[in-house]
Structures are given as C-alpha cells and as structure tokens.
Structure 1
Amino acid sequence: MDFSLSEEQTAIQELARQIFSDAVSDESLRAVDKSEAVFDTALWKQLAEANLLGIAVDEAQDGMGMGLLELCLLLEEQGRHLAPVPLVPALAQAGLAIARFGSDAQKRALLPGLVAGDHWLTAALQEGTQPAEAPGTTAARKGAGVVLNGVKSTVAAADGARAIVVSARREDGTPGLFVLDPTSGGVALEPRRATHHAHVATLRLADAAAEPLGAGTGDALAFTLARARVATCAVMLGVTAEALRRTAEYVGSRKQFGKPIGTFQGVALRTADAYIDVECIRSTLWQAIYQLDSGAPTAGRAVALAKWWACRAGQRVVHSAQHLHGGIGSDVEYPIHRFFLWAKAHETELGGASHHLALLGDALASGAAA
C-alpha cells in the first residue's frame, strides 16, 4: 500500500511551509510577544490569500473542500514554525463543527468570512479540570431561544472573534454545541496570556443568549473533540520535529573536549530516543486521521492513543531539547525555549496524557471498539 502524500497534498504542505518560513522568524515572534494584537493578523491575511484558511471548508462556502489530513498538514507546519495564528480553534474546532453540523444560515454567516480572512472564529470547549466530554456549562430554553450559564477556561483568540462555538449540557443531560455572539449580553471575557504567550481568555456566561449549532441533534461534541485533539497532535508533531532538528544541529556543531558533543554516547542516545518519539507521534497521528476519515469503529481509541503519544512523547522531546542545549537553552533570548512552551501549552489541550490513557483503559476494559 502507498501511504505517500498526493501531489496536491504535497503542494499544500510546501505552500504552508513557504508562507510560514517567510513570515515567521525568531525576531518576528519577539515582536508579536510585545504586541497587544491578539495574533499576527498580517500572516492571517496571507493564509487567506493562499486559500489555506478554507482548506477544510466546502467549496459552497468558498473553501477548498478538502479534509482533515490536509488541514493537519497545515497545522504541522504551523507547529514547526510556531506561527502565532489561531488555526486550531478557528479551523479545527469551530470551523469543522460549523461545516459539519451548522445550519445553512450559520454556514453562510460564518464560513465565507473565515475563508476570506475577514474574521476569525474560536471555540470554548474546556472548563479547567472538567473532562471536555462532560461540560458543566448548561444550556436552557428561555422563550424561543437558549441561554448559557457557566465558565469556560482558556478560550483562544476570544477577544475580537466573530463567534464562539460553546459546549454545554442540555436540559436532558446530553452535551451539545451552541453558537455564541461574544458581544451579546451576559458574556464576560477575562483576557490573559497563556504559557506560550498566546492571547486567551476566561469566558463567563450568565444567561447569555445563544443558538444551537444546526438542528442541535447528533453527537456534535464528540465529533468536534476527536478532530480538535487530532489537530493538536498535528501541531505537536511540528513543534517536536523542529525542536529535534534544531537540537541535532546544535549538538553537531557545539564542541567540547575537541569534538562535537553529539558524538558522545549519552547525547547520541538521547537524540535517538527523541527521534523515535517524534516518529511515534507521526505514526499515531496519521493512523487517527485515517480511522476518522474512514469511519472506523476503533477511531476513538486511535485518537486517544495519538493524543497520549503527543502529550507524553512530546514532553520528552522538548525536555531533551532544553537539556541538550545546556545553559543557552535557559536563555529566553535563544529560541529553543519557545518549543518547550508550545509543547507544554498543547499538552493539556482538551485533556492530557493521563486523561487519554484513562479513555483507552475504559475502552479496553469494556471491550468497546471506541
């Protein structure tokens, strides 16, 4: 079987790599850190002009009509370059959910503008230590509409977003997704900077008016969480692959006792272990994408396994990168620490290693496919 990328997929990967390489540098990242802008809006427009923001949006909404695999190729390159744009929340969380479950009116109102780069979307799926599968935020009928009550933590790029897709528990106890206008009454945003310097916010909802995503039927939350977790794994793959590349380059040029430190057995073994970890992240990521796209009954387990590898192995790789850079790795003017911060921030996104190991254990113990 041939698992290599198609010409079209390779072209997408190369285009994304070129745009990020030209637009993102260590110097530009320092400038973004000091800026009050929510993210790099100039880069956002460049991605829109290349139609990469529409990579997983149907052609009817001006997108490219491609799938999760192509989106993950874009996200891997984002992670490799640490590009400061909200691709995961806008495209993989809110965008995919609206494209799959949104009403025609919701799609027309939100997706063409996203593709054009005129606005961005985000999602509020996390509530501190509460499992993302069981939101504590509630959705209750009020008159002809729905109101939301609760608190969402770490909502990326919330300030200025056109809409926020919010997970909440319906009155019958089942979870669902709702579309929220962040400028409406009952919505309070408390902005802050995340570990990796990204702009995030705590979202407080007090009888905030919202509308169900589409007909409000089907397991929209499970669909969205699975793809959002895979998207996070793709970012982690890019982060760890580039951290390892830079580390290999450093230990190959840094000399001690008259020879490159990479020739010492301890250093060589640590970099070799990191290479194995990166390839395990890659393999489990592509397996999860394949199973989701093919509708395999074991897709849930594949996603949990991919996320576990991205969390656990990802941390090993960036820890090794920091360690093998020695003292210079502790200098915040030197860029290697950024990969550690990005990996740390994405490790706990929608559940960390322990959470996904527990999901795997539950599935195995029950004999369930997913």
Structure 2
Amino acid sequence: MDFTLSPVTEALRDLATEILEDRSTPDRLGALAREGRWWDLDTHARLVDAGVVGAVVPEELGGAGLGYLDLHHVLLAVGATVAQVPLWEDVVLGALPLVRHGSPEQQQRLLPDLVAGRTHLTAALLEPGSADPLRPETTARATGDGWEVSGTKTQVTLAPEATRVLVAARVAEGPGTVLLLVDPTGSGVSLETQETVAGRPTSRMTLETVAVGADDVLGTAGSDSPLEDVVLHASAGLASIAAGVAGRALRLAASYTSGRDQFGQPLATFQAVRQRLADAYIDVEAMRLTSLQAAWRLDADLDAQDAVQVAKFWAGDAGHRVVHTAQHVHGGMGIDLDYELHRCYRMAKWVEFTLGAGNQQLRHIGRRLAEQTA
C-alpha cells in the first residue's frame, strides 16, 4: 500500500500550516484575549484567500474540489497550532454537508459566499441532557409548505456570526430525523451566550415554532436523513484536530523538560519523566493513526462508523492523558494562563466532550458488537 500524500494534499497542508504557524502565535492570541475577542477572523480570512476554506467545495462554486482526506491534514494543522479559527464550523459542519447532501440550489445559494469569506455556516447537533446527537429531542413538524421546528440546542459554536445553522430535529409525525437550514436571526430563534471551559464562544439556541421552508431541508427527511453522515464527519474532524493538539502539547513538554534543569541535570533525563513522555508519544501516534484511518474510510465512502468512533475515543481518552502529562511535567508552568500549553489543554477538553466523550464512544461500539454476535 502506498501512503504517500499526493502533491495537491501536500501543498494544501503546507499552505495551511504556514499561514497558521505564522499568525496563530501566543503573542497574537494573547492580544486577542486582551481585546475581548476569541475568534481570529483575520487569520481565517487569510485561509479564505489561500483557498483553504473552499478546498472541499466543487470548482464550479469557487472551490478546489478536493476530498475529506485532504481536509484531514488541514485540521491536523489547526490542532497543531491551536488556531482559533472557525474552520471546523465553516467547512466540516457547513460546507461539507452541503457538498454531500445539498441540492444544487442550496449549494449555489450558500457555498460561493462561504468560499469567498463573506459568510459563515455552522451546525446545532447537541442538546441539553442528551449524549447522542443521532437522537435529537428537538422536533420538526411538516406543514403545507415546509416545517415548523421547536426545541433547544446547546454548545452551538459560531451561531451569532452564521448565515445558516444546520439544525438536527426529530420528525414529529413519523420515524427518523430531518436536517434544516435555519436562519439564526429569524423569527422564533433566540441565542444565549454560554461560557465553556475551552473558552470557545458557544450559544444556547432556542427554537420556538420556527418556520423553515421546504427549500431549506438538507437531503431527505425520515429514515434516510443524512444526520448520521454529518455526525460521522464532524466527529472525525474533531479527532483530527485532537491529534494535532496532542502532538503540539507533547512537543512543548519535550522542549521544556530538555531545557529545564533540576538537581543539576535536565528534567528529561529523569526516568519517570521519560516514561511519561514515552507513553504520551505512543498515545499521540495512536491518535494520528486512528484519525487518519477514519478520514480515509470517509473519503473512500466506506463504512466508517467503527473507525470514526474508535478515533473519537482516542481523541478524548488519549488526548486527556497527553495534555495532563504535558501539564504535569511542566510543573507550575503548566497552569500558567499566559503560557501556550494552557490553550492546548482547553482545546483538547473541548474536543473530548463535543459529540460524545470516550466512554460514550465505547458504549456505541460495544452495543453494535453485541448486536452483531446476538
């Protein structure tokens, strides 16, 4: 098997990495924090100009027509630089579902402006008290000319800036689910700012009998709804970001322990420190491998459910171990809010708990294995 990246993939990865490493620096992100801002939209605009945001969008709509495996390497770079850009929201939650399941009219209406950086897209997949995004409690009722949707979504990132939010809902009078493109400024929609441990701006989204036209239904409603496909790609994207974050945290830990002396010798020479970092290295490599496997299966349109949930398990379980180890070997520096490692920890925790933590992924896998052997 040939695992060599194509020249196009290498060019996209290197371009995204160059932009993010140049601009997502601790000093720059610290300046954003002092200004009361989190999203680094100036850097995101650079990614737009470079064609990174439109990478998976078809060429006739202004994009590059690349696949999900190419996007995987960009998301690794986002994690490796702990960049505060809405790439996961715009591309994985917004552009990709439209490319895979949107009608030509929906694609033409929403994607060119996204590729040009004039608009943002995101999705509302999580609900208060619910651990399974595939079983939403938000309900959608068919009307004569569309749908009426009611319910509450939580942890919706980028909602105030988005032109449309992809809302997952349960069909009220029938089986299955439906995905609706909702205007966050529309009648019946309210957004409430939420505070998160990750610092990533999120909103609680309340929908009270919100009218959605028939032309704003993504794919089909019912048992053939594309919700599972959207959740799989979103989870795999998080796993890719987590692998990049964990690799960054490990490099910071290796650099710090190599240059910090204790009892007259570098910390990295102590056996206990070496063992912790060696275990973290194995975890990082496992995260890279499983996220790549998930991305490859999704890109090839193969059955990827197990691969994605395994990758998401490693993203949460191993990601937690890696950032905890990095903080531990740093000592007091590890919890300094002005030090870069703190951002790694916060992003790793955001990935861990978004769309299901590690134990939830194991339950899904175990339940499916039990059904197969029953």
Deviations 1:171-226 (A, max 9, x none): 31311211001111000000234222221100000011223114446331011010
| Alignment of structure 1 residues 112-261 onto 2, 5 Å | 112-130=112-130, 131-171=132-172, 172-210=174-212, 211-216=216-221, 218-261=224-267
**Helix, strand or coil: the match of 2:63?**
coil
In structure 2, C-alpha distance between the alignment counterparts of 1:29 and 1:138, rounded to whole Å = 39
Tell me the amino acid that sits aligned with residue 191 of structure 1: T
Contact kept in structure 1, 2:166 and 2:181, CA below 8 Å:
yes
In structure 2, C-alpha distance between the alignment counterparts of 1:239 and 1:347, rounded to whole Å = 12
How far does residue 36 in structure 1 lie from its aligned partner after superposition? 4.5
**Helix, strand or coil: the match of 1:240?**
helix
Deviations 1:326-356 (A, max 9, x none): 0111221222111111101110111111111
How far does residue 37 in structure 1 lie from its aligned partner after superposition? 4.5
Tell me the amino acid that sits aligned with residue 271 of structure 2: Q
How far does residue 133 in structure 1 lie from its aligned partner after superposition? 0.8
**Helix, strand or coil: the match of 2:160?**
coil
Deviations 1:67-108 (A, max 9, x none): 111111111111111111111121111211111111112111
In structure 2, C-alpha distance between the alignment counterparts of 1:328 and 1:291, rounded to whole Å = 40
Structure 2 residue aligned with 1:325: 330
Structure 2 residue aligned with 1:300: 305
In structure 1, C-alpha distance between the alignment counterparts of 2:221 and 2:51, rounded to whole Å = 29
Contact kept in structure 2, 1:90 and 1:123, CA below 8 Å:
no
In structure 2, C-alpha distance between the alignment counterparts of 1:38 and 1:123, rounded to whole Å = 19
Structure 2 residue aligned with 1:283: 289
Would you say how many aligned residue pairs link Structure 1 and Structure 2?
A: 367
Deviation larger for 338-347 or 24-33:
24-33
Tell me the amino acid that sits aligned with residue 109 of structure 2: A
Tell me the amino acid that sits aligned with residue 349 of structure 1: T
Deviation larger for 275-284 or 96-105:
96-105
Q: Which runs of 5+ in 1 are unaligned?
A: none
In structure 1, C-alpha distance between the alignment counterparts of 2:302 and 2:129, rounded to whole Å = 29
**Helix, strand or coil: the match of 1:203?**
strand
Structure 1 residue aligned with 2:372: 367
How far does residue 11 in structure 1 lie from its aligned partner after superposition? 1.2
Match of 1:262 among 254, 263, 268: 268
**Helix, strand or coil: the match of 1:213?**
strand
| Alignment of structure 1 residues 349-368 onto 2, 5 Å | 349-367=354-372
Deviations 1:261-290 (A, max 9, x none): 101000000000000000000111111122
Structure 1 residue aligned with 2:32: 32
Tell me the amino acid that sits aligned with residue 247 of structure 2: A
Deviation larger for 312-321 or 81-90:
81-90
Tell me the amino acid that sits aligned with residue 74 of structure 1: V
In structure 2, C-alpha distance between the alignment counterparts of 1:93 and 1:140, rounded to whole Å = 23
Contact kept in structure 2, 1:32 and 1:40, CA below 8 Å:
yes
Change (3 A) 1:90 1:272: same
**Helix, strand or coil: the match of 2:119?**
coil
Deviation larger for 177-186 or 329-338:
329-338
In structure 2, C-alpha distance between the alignment counterparts of 1:287 and 1:357, rounded to whole Å = 17
Q: Which runs of 5+ in 2 are unaligned?
A: none
Q: TM-score under structure 1 normalisation?
A: 0.96
In structure 1, C-alpha distance between the alignment counterparts of 2:120 and 2:263, rounded to whole Å = 53
Structure 2 residue aligned with 1:345: 350
When the two chains are superposed, the root-mean-square deviation of aligned CA atoms in Å is: 1.4
Structure 2 residue aligned with 1:12: 12
Contact kept in structure 2, 1:166 and 1:180, CA below 8 Å:
yes
Deviation larger for 275-284 or 22-31:
22-31
- Say if 2:57 is the partner of 1:51: no
Deviation larger for 124-133 or 253-262:
124-133
- Say if 2:311 is the partner of 1:311: no
Contact kept in structure 2, 1:38 and 1:157, CA below 8 Å:
no
How far does residue 4 in structure 1 lie from its aligned partner after superposition? 2.1
In structure 2, C-alpha distance between the alignment counterparts of 1:160 and 1:201, rounded to whole Å = 11
Contact kept in structure 2, 1:301 and 1:363, CA below 8 Å:
no
Tell me the amino acid that sits aligned with residue 127 of structure 1: E
Change (3 A) 1:366 1:235: same
In structure 2, C-alpha distance between the alignment counterparts of 1:215 and 1:102, rounded to whole Å = 10
In structure 1, C-alpha distance between the alignment counterparts of 2:89 and 2:127, rounded to whole Å = 15
Tell me the amino acid that sits aligned with residue 198 of structure 1: R
Runs of 4+ in 1 over 4 A off after TM superposition: none
Contact kept in structure 1, 2:38 and 2:84, CA below 8 Å:
no
Tell me the amino acid that sits aligned with residue 86 of structure 1: P
